[in-house]
Amino acid sequence: MTSNPSTSPLIPRTLLLPFILITSLFALWGFANDITNPMVAAFKRVLELNNVQASLVQMAFYGGYFTMALPAAIFIKKYSYKVGVLIGLGLYAFGALLFYPAAAWESYFFFLMALYILTFGLAFLETTANPYVLSMGSEETATQRLNFAQAFNPMGALAGLFVAKEYILNALQSNNVDAIGNLIYPTLEETSKAIIRTNDLLVIRNPYVMLGLVVIALAVVIFMVKMPENKSKSGNIDFWPSMKRLAIKPQFVEGVIAQMFYVGAQIMVWTYIYQYADTLGIDNASAVNYAYSALILFLVGRWICTFLFRFFSPARLLLYFSVLAICFTLGAVFIQGMLGLYSLVGISLAMSLMFPTIYGIALEGLGEDGKYGAAFLVMAIVGGAIMPTLQGVILDFGGPGYDDIRILGVPEVNFSFVLPLLCFVVVGVFAWRR
């Protein structure tokens, strides 16, 4: 199934500056996502946690989306997209700056609360920015425009990974090994561990504090620039009537379900690549290079798909890429060694178009109800909180390691990727039904 090339401009000239500013937000939350993914392994080592405890980083991070997305949608329905963006940036900065007292208190719970609040801001930004971009031009080019804007998300993610590697993982003293490659930190006395723990938590703190200051600066710029308001025509909340209309639209309801499973798969693939690499003798700092490769493929895929939308319908392209993701994930599960790791990296190419395409298909034709619809699609990001924790449970089956037992003939870290496999099947069914 193909679609005719669009004759409408992707971005009207009069909206170019607002589009650029809002698109910068996609990079900003990409940075937050991918500086945080390696923190699961970092906190596990520094604070000597098990896999389930360490996965609470993702529970806090993506749980904030679920908590705040609907309040954000109600807020922007009453006021405007611009105000929603400014509130989101404020919460983002506040959460990032809370890393300062969290490090001072050396409290894992405080770090989790800081991440939770930070993602209140991200929920506001995603609830606002995605439909804002869809509205900046004709509905004919809306999904293509959102894919174009979302292509800047992995650019921010690459920057987040760079900071995580160069300024966090490489600087953690708890990662030091002896002459034969064994970790030194677990063998130390508690007084020595306390010194290293204090140092490492400060290392984790500093990039987040700097990020908070950058976010404040961007908020000032957006505040000063005239932006299209896109306020609700009536200004009424109209919550329950909108909910009833959304509930009877299968395309929207199934889109929310597909989005939840997709985000769960994405976060599992990008979080547990470090644990997968660990079983192959690759340390966390070196494993970042494979995460880099995954994000580069993700970025390339976004640009390729923006072009392919000229010739294929969004649903058909989503189906093709879902099948590709399933094939790569089967490789990650059942192929051991470096080829399995390469398969895991390759999944990112297949995932590249999924989030914005599911988003665009689910919201198509919703009109004013799209503001609440957008909130549910952002709430679906809670899949990124639930699924990694379930994968952590699988990783703890045989003990705290990643190759303690064999399941279907493969290490438990390989087997754990049956969860992303299930998620991609759900996305594929959604695309096939469209």
DSSP 89-108: HHHHHHHHHTHHHHHHHT-H
Mean pLDDT of 215-236: 78
What is the distance between the alpha carbons of residues 337 and 1, in angstroms, rounded to a whole number?
A: 38
User: Any idea which residue has 């192929």 for tokens?
Assistant: 335
What is the distance between the alpha carbons of residues 191 and 193, in angstroms, rounded to a whole number?
A: 5
Which pLDDT value is given to residue 231?
54
The answer to whether 314 and 356 have CB atoms below 8 angstroms apart is no
Is the confidence at residue 118, as pLDDT, over 90? yes
Is the confidence at residue 375, as pLDDT, over 90? no
14 closest CA partner among 154, 185, 139, 136: 136
Which pLDDT value is given to residue 195?
95
* pLDDT tens sequence across 122-160: 989 988 888 788 788 777 777 778 878 888 888 888 898
Q: Element (H or E) spanning 410, and its range?
A: strand 410-411
254 closest CA partner among 430, 106, 414: 430
Is the confidence at residue 1, as pLDDT, over 50? no
The answer to whether 36 and 162 have CB atoms below 8 angstroms apart is no
Mean pLDDT of 275-280: 91
Which pLDDT value is given to residue 107?
93
Cα–Cα separations (whole angstroms), residue 2 to 167, 304, 355: 46, 16, 21
The residue among 169 and 202 whose pLDDT is bigger is 202
Least-confidence region, from 26-30, 237-241, 415-419:
237-241
Predicted TM-score of the model (pTM): 0.78
User: Any idea which residue has 């360490």 for tokens?
Assistant: 54
Is the confidence at residue 8, as pLDDT, over 70? no
Which pLDDT value is given to residue 182?
81
Least-confidence region, from 73-77, 209-213, 288-292, 347-351:
73-77
The answer to whether 169 and 38 have CB atoms below 8 angstroms apart is yes
What is the distance between the alpha carbons of residues 372 and 206, in angstroms, rounded to a whole number?
A: 36
266 Cβ neighbours under 8 A, 6+ residues apart: 351, 354, 355, 384
The answer to whether 313 and 1 have CB atoms below 8 angstroms apart is yes
Highest mean pLDDT among 50-59, 112-121, 150-159: 112-121
What is the distance between the alpha carbons of residues 205 and 201, in angstroms, rounded to a whole number?
A: 6
DSSP state of 185: G
Least-confidence region, from 135-139, 229-233, 246-250:
229-233
Averaged pLDDT score across all residues of the chain? 87
Contacts 24+ apart (CB under 8 A), 138-141: 138/6, 138/8, 138/9, 139/364, 139/365, 140/6, 140/8, 141/6, 141/8, 141/9, 141/10
* pLDDT tens sequence across 281-302: 888 778 888 988 998 999 899 8
Which pLDDT value is given to residue 344?
97
Which pLDDT value is given to residue 2?
44
Is the confidence at residue 4, as pLDDT, over 70? no
Highest mean pLDDT among 193-202, 232-241, 382-391: 193-202
* pLDDT tens sequence across 185-204: 988 999 999 999 999 999 99
